[in-house]
Amino acid sequence: MTLSKTGQNLVQITDTHIYGDPAARLAGTDTRKTFIEVLDLICSSHSSYHLVLTGDISMDGSEASYRWIFEQLKSLNQTYSILPGNHDSIEPWGSIFSEVSSDFPTFASVEPWKFVYLNTQVQNEEYGQVCSESLKFLRSHTTAEDASFLVIFMHHPPFSVGSKWIDKIGLKSGRDEFLRIIQHPKIKLVVSGHVHQESQIEIGTVKLVTSPSTCVQFKPYSDVFALGNSNPGYRLITLWGNGEFSTEVVRLT
């Protein structure tokens, strides 16, 4: 696929935290309901896009949660990609999300852009890592002799958001090397979830962003766990053929 002059829309949703049991709630929130509300908002705002789910898709890693999510995604009739967060269990993915890769790291080309999907999960831990295989993969795509611009998707953000308890469960290893590798003109944008809030920084010419959850939000700059009062939402990213892009967060009203 080649990008048109009018731009290609990517939509990121993250931290959907769906339970296998429809009656379960996360801090009192029906995560299935807010997920559908966010999807409805996306459907009413955009006719064509590629959807990326950046982890903590399930709250309990259950097959039932993934089957329910699959049905919602199928009904959108759009292409999508998924990658795992600390709450996810990749094992059932192959038989449920059979059209998308559940082998990581992986990538997709939408010329002249490349989307790189990393798995930052550490089994049974809330914190994450950028493993040596991911670093090697990223290095090879950065130095490859093609004209691609890269967007990297990963659950745990490679930067601190200024909230002690959240930053403690960030990337425990591989972060410094990751930040060295992305200092390259090809890398344009790094998109993460995990922190249930919108944030952004720029390192050199690379923009790094996090996005709101489709369910509960965390209070920014809090030293201890606390919920925020902003609404669930998604991130829209529009990519152009010359390597430029724009991005914004859109929330339920």
Q: Which is nearer to Fe ion, 56 or 198 (CB)?
A: 56
Tokens of 177: 């090397």
Q: Which is nearer to Fe ion, 142 or 197 (CB)?
A: 197
Q: Which residues bind Fe ion (CB under 5 A)?
A: 56, 85-86, 194
Least CB distance to Fe ion at residue 56 (A):
4
Label residues 18-56 b or e (16+ Cβ within 10 Å = b). bbbeeeeebeebbbbebbebbbebbeeeeeebbbbbbbb
Q: CA 36 to CA 223: how far, in whole Å?
A: 31
Least CB distance to Fe ion at residue 126 (A):
7
Residue nearest to Fe ion according to CB distances in the complex: 194
Least CB distance to Fe ion at residue 173 (A):
17
Q: CA 181 to CA 127: how far, in whole Å?
A: 21
User: What is the secondary structure of 171-212 as a DSSP string?
Assistant: EEESHHHHHHHT-STTEEEEEE-SSSS-EEEEETTEEEEE--
Q: Which is nearer to Fe ion, 114 or 194 (CB)?
A: 194
Least CB distance to Fe ion at residue 85 (A):
4
Q: CA 230 to CA 252: how far, in whole Å?
A: 9
- 178-137-209-80 Cα dihedral, nearest 10 degrees: -160
Residue count of the chain: 253
Q: Which is nearer to Fe ion, 11 or 59 (CB)?
A: 59
Q: Which is nearer to Fe ion, 8 or 197 (CB)?
A: 197
Least CB distance to Fe ion at residue 36 (A):
21
